[in-house]
Amino acid sequence: MTNPSYDYDLVVIGAGSGGVRAARMAATKGARVAIIESRYLGGTCVNVGCVPKKLFVYASEFSQAFKDSAGFGYTVDKKPDFEWARLRDNKTNEIKRLNGVYDGLLSRAGVDIIHGHGRFIDDHRVAVDNREISAAHVLIATGSWPVMPDVEGAEHIISSNEVFYLETFPKDVIVIGGGYIAVEFAGIFNGLGAKTHLLYRGEPVLRGFDDDIREFVSSELEQAGIQLLYNRDIAKVEALESGRFRVTMSDGSARETDLVVSAIGRRPLLDGLDIDKAGVEAAPKGHLEVNDHYQTNVPHIFALGDVIGRVQLTPVALAEGMYVADYLFGESTPRPVDYDLIPTAVFCQPPIGTVGMTEAQAAKRYERVEVYQANFKAMKNTLSGNPERTLMKLLVDCDSRKVIGAHMVGESAGEIIQGLAVAMTAGATKDDFDHTIGIHPTAAEEFVTMRSPARIIGKDREDD
């Protein structure tokens, strides 16, 4: 397994979720492993992504919870005070704790942690500052980085990274983008009390999600108080003497705001890596192409996670990292990562949970598909007066009876869809769902009590 010709059997560049998993698992299998990180252990997810974002989402939900409590008999004498600095700093302390957890996980597994910027010297050697190390295999797990608008005054725009460390909380904010990051941050700002505008070049939000989900969420965002500025883009940002900013949009309209946040996407992060010196080729869109074993065009150089441009989700990177460790140092051929049934959530208000196909995708692949759908006000909102509604949707292949898509917008959507993902991965049919006894009263029981399809779709078939 080990090769004495090199300093390490595996060098991982990037200590994000996928890189850490690959390094740790490889080390537990007896490999000599080093991991190189120039910023922070845990990568985007732990430091400026999923974890701090979810903490902010929790904070943003309290404002509605305070309002809802009145219908259940609580009296709130005054408007609750929100202190941004306390939330920000408590979050930062939690992230520092998690950095330590990652350090401990790697160290206890026997992985050498090297802090600094790694770059290739050739296909087997990597330089970190003034140090040079060699490896039989190298894994590129450098992740992605926010894309920023190329407009006049772009220096006045911040990315989602900087939101987590704002000195002061804005009274008014414009979030640019319509993907899940933009929608989530719009919900955070709105819930914490900022007048929030979501500027999106298309309509509705969340391109790539099921169309019913997109329309429903867009309506719920507006109902919650977020102003949706559709079919326009940002054109210019000017700093004003007042400390605010004047934002001009592509349609010529303009408005003032305290903060402009870009959430228009992320690009593979290969800056300063010198992959050309290793003979590694990037695809025209900037990501690294890999085969089924996550090998680049240089067979002993691997890549995974956001940098390969497939699915930018932490659990996917973890699965890919496990595969690489098993492929290189395991005793048997590892099970491939299944990209067809990836459950995911969008932590907006209300949140989204989804797994499997959208209705449009199912209609293109299957001859006949049953669409089951439920739209209702959750019990919790009956006494509170909260107008928020819940949407649930199942897609069923008529021939096999398998459930091929499950989508939900509503409280605990991510938690509920995670359980359905297990069932769908196991091949559950609609009959299995129908034979399952529901838990009453819950919203989740709706998934096992929907009996009549709303419509039947499929190839060349009009909706029934």
Whether residue 13 is found in the same domain as residue 30: yes
Whether residue 77 is found in the same domain as residue 173: no
Q: List, for residues 7-43, the tens digit of each pLDDT value.
A: 999 999 999 999 999 999 999 999 999 999 999 999 9
241, 264, 287 — which closes off a domain?
264
Whether residue 121 is found in the same domain as residue 16: yes
How would residue 80 be classed by pLDDT, with cut points 50, 70 and 90? Answer: confident
Q: Which domain holds residue 205?
A: 154-264
Average pLDDT of the residues in 155-171: 97
Whether residue 131 is found in the same domain as residue 12: yes
Whether residue 85 is found in the same domain as residue 190: no
Catalytic residue (choose from 124, 156, 300, 440): 440
Both tokens of 344, joined, read: 């995911």
How many separate domains does the chain show?
Answer: 3
Q: List, for residues 360-381, the tens digit of each pLDDT value.
A: 999 999 999 999 999 999 999 9
Question: In this structure, what are the phi and psi dihedrals at residue 288, rounded to the nearest 5 degrees?
Answer: -95, 125
* C-alpha span between 70 and 379 (Å, rounded): 15
Confirm whether 51 is domain-assigned.
Answer: yes
Whether residue 228 is found in the same domain as residue 370: no
Burial (CB < 10 A; 0-12, 13-18, 19+), residue 244, is middle
Predicted local confidence at residue 331, as pLDDT? 84
How would residue 264 be classed by pLDDT, with cut points 50, 70 and 90? Answer: very high
Average pLDDT of the residues in 427-451: 97
Average pLDDT of the residues in 279-292: 96
The answer on pLDDT for 4 being more than 80 is no
Q: What is the CATH number of the domain that holds 204?
A: 3.50.50.60
The answer on pLDDT for 1 being more than 60 is no
Predicted local confidence at residue 76, as pLDDT? 83
Residues 6 or more apart from 459 whose CB is under 8 A from it? 363, 364, 365, 366, 367
How would residue 288 be classed by pLDDT, with cut points 50, 70 and 90? Answer: very high
Predicted local confidence at residue 459, as pLDDT? 76
264, 279, 314 — which closes off a domain?
264
Q: List, for residues 313-327, the tens digit of each pLDDT value.
A: 999 999 999 999 999
Q: What is the pTM of this model?
A: 0.95
Confirm whether 173 is domain-assigned.
Answer: yes
For the chain, state the CA radius of gyration: 24
Confirm whether 464 is domain-assigned.
Answer: no
- Round the average pLDDT of the chain to a whole number and report it: 95
Confirm whether 90 is domain-assigned.
Answer: yes
Whether residue 241 is found in the same domain as residue 352: no
Confirm whether 336 is domain-assigned.
Answer: no
Q: What is the CATH number of the domain that holds 436?
A: 3.30.390.30
- In sequence order, the β-bridge partners of residue 368 are none
Whether residue 228 is found in the same domain as residue 322: no
The answer on pLDDT for 2 being more than 70 is no
- In sequence order, the β-bridge partners of residue 357 are none
Q: List, for residues 130-149, the tens digit of each pLDDT value.
A: 899 999 999 999 999 999 99
156 is catalytic: no
Whether residue 368 is found in the same domain as residue 272: no
Average pLDDT of the residues in 150-176: 97
Residues 6 or more apart from 253 whose CB is under 8 A from it? 232
213, 238, 264 — which closes off a domain?
264
DSSP assignment, residue 289? Answer: P
Whether residue 13 is found in the same domain as residue 137: yes
Whether residue 137 is found in the same domain as residue 35: yes
Closest CA to 312 of 82, 106, 14, 50: 50
- Using N-to-C axis directions, what is the helix angle for 50-69 and 84-109, rounded to 10°? 140
Confirm whether 416 is domain-assigned.
Answer: yes
Predicted local confidence at residue 227, as pLDDT? 97
Confirm whether 277 is domain-assigned.
Answer: yes
How would residue 79 be classed by pLDDT, with cut points 50, 70 and 90? Answer: confident
Confirm whether 213 is domain-assigned.
Answer: yes
Whether residue 228 is found in the same domain as residue 317: no
How would residue 463 be classed by pLDDT, with cut points 50, 70 and 90? Answer: low
